[in-house]
Each structure stands twice: as C-alpha cells, then as structure tokens.
Chain A
Amino acid sequence: MTLVLRQSRKPERAPALRLPQFLMPAEAGLPALVVAAAVLFGGLPFLRLLLAAVAPGWQLAPAIAVEALTSRAAVAATLHTLDTSFFSALGALAIGTVTALALGVTDVRGKRPLAFGFVFSMMIAPQVAALAFLSLLAPNSQVLMLLGLAPEPGTTNPLLGRGGIILVMALHHAPLVAITLWTGLRSIPHSLVEAAQMEGAGPATITARIVLPVLRPQLIAAGLIAFVAGVGNFGIPALLGLPVNYLTLPTLIYRRLSSFGPESLPEAAALALLVGMVAALGILAGMVVSRRRGGKVEIERPLEPYWRLGPARGLVTAALCLLLAVKLCLPFAALLSEALTPALGVPLTWHSLTFDKFAEVLFRQAVTIRAFWNSFWFAATAAALLSLGSIAFAYGLERRMGKLRRAAELVVELPYALPGVVLAIACILLFLRPLPGIGISLYGTPFIILFAYLARFLPLALKAPLAAMAQIEAHHEEAARLDGAGLWQMLRFIVAPILAPAAAVSALMVFLIAFNELTVSALLWSSGTETLGVVLFSLKEAGLAGEAAAIAISASAVILAAMLLLDLLGRRLPPNVLPWRI
C-alpha cells in the first residue's frame, strides 16, 4: 500500500519542485514577477492614457491636458471628490468599526444573521443602492406612504447632492471596513485581553487601549479602501449628483465623454490622471500615518468575545437590526415596489401587482440570462486568479521588494483609483489592435473584460493579505529558509496557509464587487459579453426603471443563494474563511 501511494505521489511532486527553477530562478525572481504584473496591470493602461492625454494621435499637444486640469469644472470636481470620499470614508470607518466591534468582541445576539446581512448589503451594486435610496425617499415612495411619511409631490429628493452622496457612500462602504477589521480581529491573540483583564481593565478600556491600537494597520487599510473606493465610485455620485449638477471627477469624466465623445478623450485622460493623483494622495497619507507600525504579534489563541453587555445586550442588538433595516430592508422594499408595479409612479396594490417586469427580463430578454452567466464567470475567474496571485504578491511586496515596494503598490493601485470608464478606454486603446506576435485582437472577446477586472481589482485583492502579512513575524520563513526550503516551497507550505483566510476574503470581495460591476464593462462589453451591470444600467437609462429593479432584485437573489450555499459549505471550509462567520 505505502509503496503504491509513494509511487503515485512522485510524478505530482516533480513539477512542483521544478517550478522554482523555471519561474523564480533566484532571489530576484519574485520581485521581477511582481514588478512585471504591476507594470502590465497598472503601468501599461496608465501610460497609454498618459499618451492619449498629452499626445493624442501621437502628436504632442499637452495644452489640452493643462487646460482640462485647470478648468473651473475640474477644480470644483476635484474638491467635491476629495470632500465626498473623505467624509464618506470617515462615515464608513465609524459605522464599520462599531459594527465590526459589536459583532466581533461583544456577546450581542444573532451575530451570524446580522453579519450575514451586513456583508450581503455590500453586494448590492452602488448604483442600485443609490437608486434604492432614491426610490425610498421619493414623493411616491410606497414604503414612506405606508408609514405616512411620504413627502408632497414636487418635493426635491433630499438625497440629491453632497449630503446624500456622503451618506449613501458611507453606508455602502461600511461593510468593506467591517470585513477588513474582522480579519484583523482574528489575528489578535486572546492572551492580550486576558492579561489586561487580570490587571482589572474593563472591556471599554481593553477595546480603546489594546484592541484598536493593535488593529491600526487594518483600520488604516480599511479607511484607505473606503477612501479610494469613494474616489473611484461612479454609481452613487452619478445617480445622486448628476441630477443636481454636483459633479465628482468620475462623473465629470463620464459627462465629458458621453457628451463630447472621443474628441474629449485627451481631456478625459488628463482628468483621469488627476483622479489617479487624488487616490495616490490618499495612499501616501496612509503611508505617512502607518510608518510606525504596531508590533507584530504571534497568534496562539485567536480573540474571543470579551465584552459582556449585560442589560444593554438587547439594546445593542436592536440598534444593529435598525442599521440593517435602514441599509438593506427599506431600500430593498422600495426597489421591490418598483419592480412589481406596471409603470413608474403607479401605487402598489393587489390590483396593480404584476410580475411582468420579472418575466420580461428573465424570460423574454435573451440578453439577461446571458448576462447572469457572463458576470458570474468574469467575477469567479477574476476572484480565483487574484486571490491566488495575491498571496505571492503580498509576500513579495512585504518581504522581497525593499524600496521598490511603495512604487509597486502605487502602480498597482492606479487602475482601482481610475474611474472605470477611463480604465475601459485605456483597455480599448491597448487591445483593439491585434496583439503583436499572435495577431489576435482581444477587443470583443471576454478577455478584455477579464484583463480589466484583474487590473482593477488587484489592489482590492491585495489589501487583506498585505495587512495580514504585515502582522506575521518573519521567523517562520527564516526557519524554513534555514531548512533549505526554496521560494516556491515557502510560498506553498508556509505563507499560503497563513494567508489563506485573508486571500479567501479577497476572493470573496472581488467576486461580490465584480459580479455587479458596471463602470468598466460599460464600454468593454460587446454583443455576447454583456454583464449584469451593463444590462441593468442600460434598462435604467432607457427609462425602464421597473425592469432594472427586477434585474437588481434577481441578481441580489443569486448572490444571496450563493452566500447561503457558501455558508452551508462553510462547515467544511477552514475556519475563518467566510467573513460573516465570526
């Protein structure tokens, strides 16, 4: 028996051992790969844009770019972008941190369903969330009518403009923060808390003096995720800002492109560079703050809830439920009431109730079913590739890059910070012509969207593994190296198992966001590669809001089903892989 087993194992092991010689010949192998990937996904689209900005049609004309950047509209949009993304990131940090702590360290009731609902609310696409909140507060809102709170016809929606953008964006990005913090909470050893308890410290003191300081890398990472997501967000300011001419940089670019067409490509490219700079500013600020990193800690026994709420338990539970109702249930009810009525503005009654919108999008429109599958495969493929890659990437960046690290991080960050429309145009410019060597054009194939997704979501996938990597002492790896382990073996047997939960969280986050993604695919799709976001936006824009709502609800149902399935499978997965299982 043993003999047979060994024989069958041998051929498997051989290529694994050969791999390092091929791919990573020396110490420089991994950094070279990281740099190559950074250049491919971040640098190349960015340079192509730069070229289009300063030298449209290969002729140097930087005046257009300068004019675009100094125009009154660009300055105002920059201020608006900084303003909304900063305050929404603060809001997301506040909501997300409180929620993460309430669910992570206290004995609040119903943790699993609450966490589940919170994570689920993040998967609703930003434009859908914005639309849902708009419907919720409109004068014809069925939900508000039920509560007797509906405003008079002719009342401007209070969500339109700066306040609404900040509020909806903060609510929308709060789960991003919470997920990142949960990952961090898991890496805090319980012994820290026990030691403090022995000293007589109360739970509030422990949270303020021990847990939060230890969580600092995650807090900063989470704040950055929320800020950068805010800078690049298109759906929310498009729905809440454009109708009152409150423009952020992504919506300004969109408006320029959609109204003046490609003659404004150089201008749009210049503005895109500006967005990149704003995002880079946020990242640099984060670097300054996080220069003094918290001490690295060894995980023996992960953190357990230490805060007994006592009489306040019910109150905190109720507060969390209320948050979820405001964030998820009410907007959803508003969407549902739109999808179930025959036309916009018709009150929902038993008489007017119709499933015609659902029938139209799910059965009559061939494109919708195709879009479901397309989005699923794009998101799943990007998630799988990125989470695997992020392990090597995080290790390479954290341990092997030295001074190059910050530069590589910045380059990688670019496509996520750029508005999707502009990344899409960069991809069109890059890939429309047949690739040199193989003579095949990627344009019109699924691969152009996949490439854009990989470029766009790589920084998102990197956040959690990087934060986790920063907390791990190097002595495991040093021990492995002393034992003569190669780089590949080290990644496979030492780094990967430690980073697996963080990488799984990355995969999940990428999947959830890519599944409903709109702004990148809006320009890259072609007949046959439509994504859900494209179909949804297209319907909404054509005045078919009910049909759009029906798709949004169906898509959310699919995600809900996928999450429930994952939850069922969760028992067989390694612990801590699913973010809502706390």
Chain B
Amino acid sequence: MQRKALGALTVAAGLLVATFGARAEGVEGKLVLYTSQPNTDAQQTIDAFKAKYPKVDISFVRDGTPRILAKLRAEFEAGAPQADVLLIADSVTMEGLKKEGRLEAYDKADVSAYPAGIHDPAKFWFATKLITTGIVYNTKATMQPKSWLDLTRPEAKNQIAMPSPLNSGAALIHTITLTSNLKDGWKYYEALKDNGTVAAGANGDILRQVATGEKLYGMIVDFMPIREKAKGAPVAFVFPVEGVSSVSEPVAVLKGTKNSAAAHAFIDFVLSKEGQEVALKQGYVPARPDVALPAGYPARDAIKLMPFDAAKALAESAAARKHFGSIFE
C-alpha cells in the first residue's frame, strides 16, 4: 500500500514538474522529426539536441523534401500524420502547408536575434540556415564561370547539369528567383536548353556528375561543393555576379503534435546560438547573423542574394514547374 502511495506521489510530483517546472527539465517523451537534411547532418542535429534534452526520445525520418511531403500527404489522407516537427528545404513548401492549415504557430519562439522578414511573420515557420544556389565547375574545365550568362557560352555546350525543380525544393526556388531576376526571364532557360543543358535529378546527382567529370558545370546548392572541395574533390563553387537564389531550410511544428513541449524545445534549440553553431560546424551558413560563416564562404554581406517573395512563389510554383517541364522534357 505504502509503496503504491509513494508511487502515486512520485507520479504526481513528476506531473507537477512537467507542468510548472523549468522548460528544459520538463521536456520529455517521443518526438519525431521529418527532415530533408543529409543523414550525417540530421544525426548530428538530433545528437546535439539530445545532449541538451536527454529525456526526449527523438528520432528522425530523412528523405528529400518532395518525398517527405509525399509521405506526409499520404498520412494526411489517412488522417494520422506521424511527424511532430518538420525541417525541410524551403519556405514555399512551408507556406503551402500553412495555407492548408497543417502547421501550428509557435508564438513564444524567440526570434529577437534575427532580422525581420527572415521568418514567417505569423510564426508558423522559422528559417534556420541560408542555403544558396550558385554554379559549380570541375577544376579541369577551361572556363571559370562568373555570371549566370556564362553557362550559355559555347565553352559550356553540352557540359551543364542542373537539378530539376520537379525533384528538388531548392531548385524550384532557384528557378523562380532566376526567371524573375534575370532580364531574359524564361528565355535564359531556353538558352540553357539550346546550349545542351540536362535538367534532372537532385543536388546530390549534380555534385556526382561534376565531381566525376561527366559534366563540367552545374547549378547546385552551396554547401555540397564547398564541403567536398575541402576534402579534395576537383570542384569549385561560384557565387555569380548577378547574385544567388536562396532557401532557408525552415523548421515548423506540425498541427496535431502530441508533444508540443518537446517540439517547441526543438525549435528553440535550432534557433538558439548553440543550435546555429551546430549548423556552422556542418558547413552551412547559419541563419542567425551573430554566428560566423564556415570556411570556404565569402563574408556574409558579400553574398548577394536575389530578392524573392515566398507567398508569390507559392502562387507561381505550379506554373513554374510546368514552364520548366515544357522547356526541358
């Protein structure tokens, strides 16, 4: 009897702590993260989170953004989404989920260290990094491209690979950004097609083709070639003079999560200086301005970003994919 009473007391005390205790201590239970980060990075991210919140049983499911979404949609259709937190490539996808009412706002998130406009003003999703798309070239190539227009030059004929917006979230943003910023618009992509550009696969495929020398030039997200170059791969990354497009790898809480406390803790963690330093160590540009940049990047203010409007992009994304498909398929 006594033992039972004691047990009940402990449980009650535990509940009390869980409800009123400091946030870090009270956070526990299962947390499922759906992410598009490469496996090594995702493992490091949850390891770092776990070191701070050891009671949270966090696990991750990793896939490309489009397929994470495919998985989620199937779960929506059957009425039982499994994820608590999403950490995926681009804010356009997040905007879409928000419009459908799939996300949960996190009003108490501390975003004071971030510039205005980088996160969703309604606090449904939060930018965690700055991932730009520029040009990669094989160091054996004869030309060192400096401008997006260099890819339409005869030296690059039949030597260009780029990810398809049908396969990659970042590539979709890139296409929308580029066509609305370059003065030629979609004509630029038609010129690329005429120059023998192959558009297929995701960023990892572009890295493989350029690093192995099957193609000499490619459009790609920055961290892949910069990381590989540091390891000795014969590739180099260029931030073209016109500027680069960017995605922010946003994080969000999924509506209907059974563990909001832990989900909020995860968002707090990735937005904290500590969490941002994990991204730095992995070779990404952290979203938080007071965290440094990894080796291999120019200074933060030297990276010229082309302007981009997430809400407008969402409205245009289906048309952009169709237009892209009509040129390259």
Please determine whether A528 and B64 come into contact, CB atoms closer than 8 angstroms: no
Closest chain A residue, CB of each to CB of B140: A153
Check A345–B233 contact: CB distance below 8 A. yes
Cβ of A360 < 8 Å from any Cβ of B?
Answer: yes
How far is the CB of B202 from the nearest CB of chain A, in Å? Answer: 6
- A139: Cβ under 8 A from any B Cβ: yes
- Contact status A265-B67, CB under 8 Å: no
- Interface membership of chain A positions 449-464, coded 1 if the CB is closer than 8 angstroms to chain B and 0 otherwise: 0000000000000000
Can you list, as one digit per residue, whether each of A241-261 has a CB less than 8 Å from chain B (1) or not (0)? 011110000000001011111
What residues of B have a CB within 8 angstroms of the CB of A258 in the complex?
A: 64, 66-67, 70, 166-167
A405 CB to nearest B CB, Å: 34
Compute how far the CA of A141 lies from the CA of B235 in the bound complex, rounded to whole angstroms: 16
Q: How far is the CA of A547 from the CA of B227 in the complex (A)?
A: 14
* Contacts known (A156-B214, A343-B232, A429-B74); A544 close to B40, Cβ less than 8 A: yes
Asked if B78 contacts A342 (CB within 8 A), the reply is no
A545 close to chain B: CB less than 8 A: yes
Q: How far is the CA of A544 from the CA of B41 in the complex (A)?
A: 11
Name the contact of B228 in the complex, choosing from A140, A245, A343, A365 (C-beta under 8 A). A343
Is residue B213 within 8 Å, beta carbon to beta carbon, of the partner chain? yes
User: Among residues 380 to 435 in chain A, which have CB atoms less than 8 Å away from a CB atom of chain B?
Assistant: 425, 428-429, 432-433
List of A residues within 8 angstroms of B208 by Cβ: 344, 543, 545
Inter-subunit contact B70/A156 (CB<8 Å) = no
Cβ–Cβ contact A545 & B321, under 8 A:
no
**B159 interface residue (CB < 8 Å to A):** yes
| Segment of B54-62, B122-130, B175-183, B270-278 engaged in the interface with chain A | B54-62
Residues of A within 8 A of B216 (CB): 153-154
Given contacts A343-B232, A543-B207, contact A73 B329 (CB under 8 A): yes
Which B residue's beta carbon lies closest to that of A540?
B204
- Tell whether A443 is near chain B: CB-to-CB under 8 Å: yes
Bits for B95-119, please: 1 = Cβ < 8 Å to A, else 0. Answer: 0000000000000000000000000
Do B204 and A259 touch (CB < 8 A)?
A: no
The answer to whether B213 and A154 touch across the interface, beta carbons within 8 angstroms, is yes
CA separation between A345 and B165, bound complex, in Å? 26
Q: Which residues of B contact A290 (CB under 8 A)?
A: none
- Expressed in whole angstroms, the Cα–Cα distance for A157 and B200 within the complex equals 15
Given A244-B198, A265-B73, A527-B32, check contact A346 B231 (CB 8 Å). yes
Distance between Cα atoms of A429 and B37 in the complex (Å): 26
**Residues of chain A with a CB closer than 8 A to B79's CB:** 432-433
Cβ distance B205 to chain A, nearest Cβ, rounded Å: 7
Contacts of A528 in B (CB 8 A): 59
B80 at the interface (CB under 8 A from A): yes
Q: Which residues of B sit under 8 angstroms from A523, Cβ to Cβ?
A: 67, 70-71, 74
**B310 to nearest A CB, angstroms?**
17
Q: Out of A444, A535, A540, which one reaches B82, CB within 8 Å?
A: A444
A-chain residues with CB within 8 Å of residue B204 when the two chains form the complex: 540-545
Q: Are A257 and B70 in contact (CB under 8 A)?
A: yes
| Distance, CA A526 to CA B298, complexed state (A) | 39
Task: State A36–B329 Cα separation when bound (angstroms).
Answer: 43
B59 proximity list for chain A (CB < 8 A): 527-528
User: Could you tell me if B213 and A255 are in contact, using CB atoms closer than 8 angstroms?
Assistant: no
Q: Is A538 an interface residue (CB 8 A)?
A: yes
List A contacts of B205 (CB < 8 A).
243, 541
- Among A153, A263, A433, contact of B80 (Cβ-Cβ < 8 Å): A433
Per-residue 0/1 for A522-538: is the Cβ within 8 Å of any B Cβ (1 yes, 0 no)? 11011110000001001
A243/B198 in contact, CB under 8 A: yes
Tell me if B301 is interfacial: C-beta within 8 Å of chain A: no
Judge whether B296 is part of the interface by a CB distance below 8 angstroms. Answer: no
- A–B Cβ pairs within 8 angstroms, 14 of them: A73-B329, A138-B212, A141-B212, A258-B67, A345-B234, A365-B39, A425-B70, A428-B78, A432-B75, A432-B79, A432-B80, A543-B204, A545-B208, A547-B39
A residues with a Cβ closer than 8 A to B are 57, 73, 135, 138-141, 153-157, 242-245, 255, 257-263, 265, 342-346, 352, 360, 364-367, 425, 428-429, 432-433, 441, 443-444, 522-523, 525-528, 535, 538-545, 547
* Beyond A140-B213, A258-B66, 20 extra complex contacts between A and B, CB < 8 Å: A57-B77, A139-B213, A153-B138, A154-B138, A154-B215, A255-B167, A259-B321, A265-B74, A343-B228, A343-B233, A344-B228, A344-B233, A346-B234, A365-B40, A367-B43, A428-B78, A429-B78, A443-B82, A541-B202, A542-B39
- Partner-A contacts on B (CB < 8 A): 32, 37-40, 43, 59-64, 66-67, 69-71, 73-80, 82, 138, 140-141, 158-159, 161, 164-167, 198-205, 207-209, 211-216, 224, 228-229, 231-235, 321, 328-329
